[in-house]
Amino acid sequence: MLIWRLGSCLVSPLNPCYHARALMAMMAVAQFQMLGLLNRISLAGLAALSCALLAAAPVGHAQTADAELNHTPYVERQAVQKFIARMVSEHRFERTPLVSLLSGITPQHKALESLSRPVEKTWEWHEYRRLFVKPERVAAGLDFWRLHYGHLAHAQCRFGIPPEIVLAILGIESRYGQYKGRYPVFDTLVTLAFDAPRRSGFFRKELEHYLLLVREQHFDPTALRGSYAGAMGYGQFISSSYRHYAIDFDGDEVADLFDNPVDAIGSIANYLAENGWRRDDVLVAVPATVDVGADLSLANSSLRPVKTVATLARAGFRSSVDLPPGSKATPLRYQLKEGEEYWLGLHNFHTISTYNPSRLYSMAVLQLAQEIRAARSAEAAGR
């Protein structure tokens, strides 16, 4: 176990040549074990020995693998050929232009790196909140509300989504349109679809949706920019969501999420409504207290509320406000800088999580929305 941990510390997961070197280093250290010499070497000495072996090991075979991974043209890969054939047969794309398009791809290695360490997976709540729920974003949300008051009111009337929820999503996703991403979406999706070690199937489906989207909307497939995961526009919609939920909300017969904030407002509201938002549910999540001896394994076990409030109370999670005993909730734990806090997520909390399946994201949306609403109320009271 010690050897494998040392090896894993010395290996870059994105560089196959290091994997080959590490394997040879670990084999060499194993020989020391068999010779009975390992117990004479300190941990520091063992780490130094591993590093030396790692640096000195021949890497010819690994360099070949690295070259195949990074430099083989996508159009020459069997998986890409199958993808092209399916787009031609199922969606009637012309093969020659599609091959030409895929021949100009620049692999987006930084997107692969970012995908492997999203902040929702690596940050604690107090770090995540500090990034997204801050005065500048609240002030920008208030400005956006003033500018688009009528369209936000229309979205609430039509879809039942409070303006502050739409504003919070816009604020977190793109800073109200100020930052929509710098990655070339097509190149990024191709890279993730055929080079990502995980979720490649998901990204191939998104690549398929992207090609259909640009054909339907008459976009230049090479011109669009977005996030490291291929999300686009004001609301950072992935391609499938753009096709399914984007709407023309200002009557110009175009659903434009790149340059039209009105369409973005309507599309985010439409997305939440289609994914189950209940317009009559005032509460999204409520603070909770935890009894001594509570079943803490229930916390963060699900984003979907599956247990009743009464059941959770018996398990030691008690709502800070009166909720119907038969209503459903999910217990949530958040790490503060010092200590923890607990919440009960309700139905609309889960609906927010369909936008981004992270308890950190959903809580950030809720708390940013609350602060924007409070600022709006204070402004109205001061008039």
- In this predicted structure, the answer to whether residue 62 has a pLDDT above a threshold of 60 is no
Query: Which band of pLDDT confidence, cut at 50, 70 and 90, is reported for residue 68?
Result: very low
Q: Regarding beta strands 307-308 and 285-290, do their DSSP bridges make them parallel or antiparallel, or are they unpaired?
A: unpaired
Residue with the larger pLDDT of the pair 26 and 86: 86
**Dihedral-angle region of residue 162 (phi above 0 means left; psi in -120 to 50 means alpha; beta otherwise):** beta
pLDDT value at residue 279 = 96
Residue (of 374, 348, 352) closest to 286 by Cα position: 348
Q: Give me the pLDDT at residue 18, please.
A: 39
**pLDDT score for 69:** 52
pLDDT of residue 21: 41
Percent of the chain whose pLDDT exceeds 70: 81
How many of the other CB atoms lie within 10 Å of CB of 191?
A: 26
Q: In the chain, what percentage of residues exceed pLDDT 90?
A: 78
Given a cut of 90, whether residue 302 has pLDDT beyond it is yes
Inform me whether the pLDDT recorded for 179 exceeds 70: yes
CA count, 13 A, side-chain hemisphere, 278: 10
| Active site annotation includes 173 | yes
Residue 169 has pLDDT above 60, yes or no: yes
Q: Which CATH class is domain 116-181+212-280+351-383?
A: mainly alpha
Q: Over the stretch 337-368, which tens digit does the pLDDT of each residue have?
A: 999 999 999 999 999 999 999 999 999 999 99
- Write the pLDDT tens digit of every residue in 122-165: 899 999 999 999 999 999 999 999 999 999 999 999 999 999 99
Per-residue pLDDT, 66:
36
β-bridge partners, 354: none
Q: Where in the chain is the domain with CATH 1.10.530.10?
A: 116-181+212-280+351-383
What is the DSSP code string of 207-222?
HHHHHHHHHHHT--TT
pTM: 0.81
Helix or strand run (H / E) with residue 317? strand 317-319
Does residue 247 register a pLDDT over 80? yes
Q: Which of 312, 340, 234, 323 is nearest to 284 (CA)?
A: 323
Rounded-to-integer distance, Cα 286 and Cα 369, Å? 14
**pLDDT average, residue stretch 290-319:** 97
The pLDDT value given to residue 117? 85
Residue 48 reports pLDDT greater than 70: no
- For the chain, the average pLDDT equals 86
Query: Whole-angstrom Cα distance, residue 303 to residue 284?
Result: 12
> Is 12 a residue whose pLDDT tops 50?
no
| pLDDT of residue 308 exceeding 70 | yes
Contact partners, residue 24, CB within 8 Å, separation at least 6: 53, 57, 58
Catalytic residue among 68, 94, 124, 173: 173
Is pLDDT above 50 for 237?
Answer: yes
pLDDT of residue 217: 95
Q: Is the pLDDT of residue 292 over 90?
A: yes
What is the bridge-based pairing of β-strands 225-226 and 183-184? antiparallel
